[in-house]
Amino acid sequence: MLPARIFYDAGMSDNFAILDSRATPLGELTLRRRRLLMLDGLEVFEVKLGDAFLMSSLFHDVEVALADLGLTPLGGPVDVVVGGLGLGYTAVAALKHSNVQSLLVVEALAGVIDWHKQGLVPLGATLTGDARCRFVHGDFFALAAAPQTGFDPVQPARRFHAILLDIDHSPRNLLHVRHAAFYESTGLRRLAEHIHPGGVFAMWSDDPPDTEFLDKLNQAFVNSQAHIVKFHNPLLETDSASTVYVARKASEGAERRAV
């Protein structure tokens, strides 16, 4: 594990700090901490990849909704994969479901895993301290395309009851062009092979519901639905919205049913 490289902007004192910055194949990955004076000094953690903002602790309602919408339909003990660790909100929300017996978090950027293990982000101790949770350093999309090996390096070809994905901005707005094949019917069918009958695939998107993508989901799963999740933006004093797709895999011998 690489040690965190901590930098402070002396001109901004304790109101701003770059907690870690490192090169990755996708660009410079940066973890920042700010205190927002306009919000009574609220401490906010932000992640940037190059010049693009990936996430902020100020907005995490949709990350929580991704876990809740994906896991609520499932009963009994469930094994879950989260694609994309980020600041940990989806993973922590998943662990709050008492029927989750194991959680595998797949993250392509080693630095993000380091932040959690080193306690540089607020939810790191929650995830590293829960015996049900395990981090896997790997490319979610490459693993999704290989059902014969799968997401768990300890148990090849293991299947799961739910897979929750929060990596690309949307099926059309990708972090890397090589991810595009995943969002086609063939890629989604390969993903479905990792899921137990009756299980769920849920995914976050920053775009409005996409009818074409829903059609592709319906070619791989028995039913799919787009949920619009609204959340308040205190910086702009207005509401924003994202989309959570939820797709259900057919149960063995069961008729088509709604998610």
Q: What is the CATH number of the domain that holds 215?
A: 3.40.50.150
What confidence score (pLDDT) does residue 59 get? 87
What confidence score (pLDDT) does residue 37 get? 82
Residues 164 and 120 in one domain: yes
Residues 73 and 125 in one domain: yes
SS (H, E, C) 3-24: CCCCEECHHHHHHEEEEEEEEE
Residues 113 and 195 in one domain: yes
How many domains does the chain contain in total?
A: 2
What confidence score (pLDDT) does residue 11 get? 37
Residue-wise pLDDT for 202-247, tens only, equals 999 999 999 999 999 999 999 999 999 999 887 778 899 999 999 9
What confidence score (pLDDT) does residue 255 get? 40
Residues 17 and 66 in one domain: no
What confidence score (pLDDT) does residue 254 get? 58
Residue 254 belongs to some domain of the structure: no
What confidence score (pLDDT) does residue 39 get? 81
Residues 113 and 193 in one domain: yes
Residues 198 and 77 in one domain: yes
Domain that holds residue 142: 61-248
Instruction: Give the residue ranges of the chain where pLDDT is below 70.
Output: 1-13, 253-259
Residue 258 belongs to some domain of the structure: no
Taking phi first (over 0 means left), then psi (-120 to 50 degrees means alpha), and beta for anything else, what does residue 223 get?
beta
